[in-house]
Structure 1
Amino acid sequence: MNYTLNQLQIFLKIVETKSITKASELLFLTQPAVSIQLKNFQNQFDIPLTEVIGRQLYVTPFGEEIAEASKRILKEVEAMKHKTMAYKGFLTGQLNIAVVSTGKYVMPYFLSGFLKTHSEIDLKMDVTNRYKVLKSLEQNEVDFALVSVMPNNLNVASIPLMQNKLFLIGNTTRANELSYKNNELILEDLPLIYREKGSATRQAMEDYLSVRQVNTNKKIQLSTNEAIKQAVISGLGYSVMPLIGLKNELRNKELTIIPAQGLPVTSFWNLIWLKGKKFTPAATAYINYLKTKKDAIILENFSWHENFQKP
C-alpha cells in the first residue's frame, strides 16, 4: 500500500461529515480534489470504503474499520512529531479547549502570547454551544472549557478570566420608538430576539426578564450571536447581548446600548477543567501562564470593556 497522510486526513473528514462537499469546505479544498484523493485511497483496497445510495454517501463497515486505523496512524505520527521536538528541548503537545460561542471574542487573546512562546504546542479549539462544550468537558475530551455560567453538575476547578457584561441593544435609528412609563423602559412592547435554548446568553436574558416580571408579546429565536447582531442592526428587534462582541458595531453606531433598569447583567468568563484531571506538560504550562499574565492581557486588550460604563 502507498497511501499518504494527506489521504488519511481527507478520508477521516469524509467519514466524519458523510459528505464530500462538507469535507472539502472544512479542509479548504475543492470538491474534485477531495474526490480524487478518495478515489486514489480507495484504489488501494479491494473492498469498498464508501458507497453512494441516492445522493447520500455512506461509509461501509470496512470503511469504518479503516477510519479507526487511520486515526491511530495519525495519532502516532503526531506523537512522533512531539517526541522529536521534546528531545530538542521544546515544550510540545496539544491544548484542547472547548469554547462557548461568545467566548471566541475572549479566548484567542489569552492564547496568542502562550503559543508564540511555545510554538511547538498545537491548539485544537472547538467553538460551539454551551451544551456541547460541557459535554466535551464531562467526557474528558478537552483539557479546558471557557464558559460564562459555571456548570452545576460537574466537579470543576477554574480560573476567572474577566467580566462578562450583558446590555440591551437596539438599532441606533429606532431609539425614538421606545416607550417609557415613570422614566422606565417598557420592555413588554419590544420585539425581543433570543438565543437558542441552552445558551448562557439566553438564560441570562430570561432570568433578567423573569426578575422584572416581563412577559414579551413577540419573541424571535436565532442560533448565534452574530445572527442576532445582524437582526438587531436591520431593525428586526432588540436583544440582551454580551458587550464583548459589540465593540465594532457600537463604534460604527450600527448598534446602541439602551438604558434599562437592572442592566448590565454581569458574570465572569471562567476557564474550567475537571478536578483531578492529570494535565499534560503543555496544559500545566498554560495554567501557569494564565496565572502570571492574565491581568496584563486584560489591560492590553480589554480595557475598553472593563471600563465601559452603562449609559
Structure 2
Amino acid sequence: MEPSHLRRLTLRQIQIFLAICRHESHSRAAEELALTQPAVSAQVRNLEELVGEPLFDYLGKQLYLTPAGQALRRAGQELLQRLGHLEMELAELRGVISGALSLAVESSAQYFLPAELAAFCRQHPAVTADMQVMNHDQVLKGLLENRHELVVMGRVPEDRSLRFIPFRDNHLLAVCAPDNPLRHGPPLSLVALAEQPLLVREPGSGTRGILEEHCQAQGIRLGERHQFGSLEALKGAVAAGLGVAVLPEDACRRALAAGHLAALPVEGFPLRRSWCLVHRRARHLSAVAEALIKHLLATP
C-alpha cells in the first residue's frame, strides 16, 4: 500500500467510519450524522478503495470489523484524540480551558458526580462533557480500549498500567426496608448478613465485587441472591421488603433521609473504600482532564 493513498483520507470519512463502528450499523451512523444511508455507504466504499482492504464483514444483519477495520479504528480514534488535544493546547495559549471531556463512571457515582461536573463546567464554560454511566467491568473495558480519557470507579483492579487518584470517601452500607425488625436489634455478624435474602447488582458491578471480595476474605459464602440490573430497581425492591442489600452511601443517601430505606447494623460496616479517578499511565492527559482532577481533589 502506497502511503500517498492514505494521505487522501479525509477527516469526515474517519468520522463516518468511527460512527459506524460505534453503532455497528450504517443506518444508525447516518442518523447520528444527519446523512443518508447511501451517502454513508459510498464513503465506506471510498475508504476501502483507499485502504485497499475490506473494512467490514457482514454476517446476516450483523456487522463485524475486519483486521484492517480494527487497525483503521485505532488510528482514527488516536487522530481525533490528537486533534482534540491540539484544540485544548491552543485554547490554553489564550488562557482558556477548552475542549471535550470523555468520562465514564460506575453507576453509583451518578448520584454525586453530575453536581461536581456542573460546578466544573461553570468555572470553565468552554468545556463540553460526555459522561457515560455503566457498571465496573464496562467502565474498565472502555478505559483499556482507550475510549475514555478518565473514569471514576469505587473498586480498583491491580493493574500497574493504570493510575488511581482517590478523591472521595466511598462508604458501603447494609440497608433494608424501614419495617425490617433487624434494624432495631444488635449488629448482625457478617455470617448472619450473608444468610439474609440478598439483593445484588449484575455480574460486573463494582459494588457487588466489593461485597463478594469482602466476604471471600472472611471465608464466608453468600447465600440466596436476587439480581437486579439497575440501582433504582434494586433500591425499590429493598424498600418493598424483598431482601437486604449493600450499597454505596452516595447511592442511597436520599432514600435513607426520606425513610424509604433504613440502615441495617452489621459488624464491621460501613465498608470503607474510596472513589478514584483512573486513567492509563501511558496516555497524555488533556488540559481539561488535568483541570477536572484538580477540581475534584480540591472539593471538600
Using the size of structure 1 for normalisation, the TM-score is: 0.67
Determine which of 236, 244, 250 is the counterpart of 2:256.
Answer: 250
2:289 maps to: 283
Structure 2, unaligned runs of 5 or more: 1-11, 49-54
Cα gap change, 1:194 to 1:23, in 2 (>3 Å): farther
Is the Cα–Cα contact under 8 Å of residues 111 and 251 in structure 2 kept in the other structure?
Answer: yes
Structure 2 counterpart SS, 1:246: helix
Q: Is residue 191–residue 216 contact of structure 1 (8 Å, CA) maintained in 2?
A: no
8 Å CA contact 1:10, 1:37 repeated in 2: no
Aligned match of 1:307:
none
Residues 109, 88 of structure 1: alpha-carbon distance in 2 compared, 3 angstrom cutoff: same
Q: In the alignment, what sits opposite 1:130?
A: 136
Q: 1:252 to 1:193 in 2, by over 3 A?
A: same
In structure 2, how many angstroms separate the alpha carbons of the residues matched to 1:221 and 1:231?
Answer: 10
Is 2:186 the partner of 1:187?
no
Counterpart of 1:237 in structure 2 is: 243
Q: 1:121 pairs with 112, 121, 127, which one?
A: 127
Equivalent position SS for 1:268: strand
Query: Which deviations, in whole Å up to 9, do the C-alpha atoms of 1:197-225 show, x marking residues without a partner?
Result: 34321122224434565444412223332
CA distance in 1, matches of 2:65, 2:283: 35
Instruction: Give the structure 1 partner of residue 299 of structure 2.
Output: 294
Query: Residues 137-286 of structure 1: matches in 2 within 5 Å?
Result: 137-173=143-179, 175-176=180-181, 178=182, 184=188, 186-210=192-216, 214-275=220-281, 277-286=283-292
Q: Is this contact kept in 1: 2:187–2:266, CA < 8 A?
A: no
Distance 1:43 1:132 in 2: 33
Residue identity (%): 27
Distance in 2 separating the partners of 1:265 and 1:236: 23
Q: Match for residue 37 of structure 2?
A: 38
Measured in 1, the distance between the counterparts of 2:28 and 2:44 equals 24
Cα offsets for 1:35-67 (capped at 9, x unmatched): x73245557888899999866578999999999
Measured in 2, the distance between the counterparts of 1:150 and 1:60 equals: 33
1:78 CA displacement:
6.1
**What amino acid does structure 2 have at the position aligned with 1:294?**
T
Conserved in 2, the CA contact under 8 Å of 1:10 and 1:38? no
Distance 1:81 1:239 in 2: 46
CA shift in 2, pair 1:159/1:168, >3 Å = same
Query: What is the rounded CA distance, in whole Å, between the counterparts of 1:141 and 1:80 in structure 2?
Result: 18
CA distance in 1, matches of 2:74, 2:222: 50
Across the aligned residues of Structure 1 and Structure 2, the Cα RMSD in angstroms comes to 4.4
> Structure 1 residues 168 and 23 mapped into 2: Cα distance closer, same or farther (>3 Å)?
farther
Classify the secondary structure of the residue corresponding to 1:114.
Answer: helix
Normalized against structure 2, the TM-score is what?
Answer: 0.69
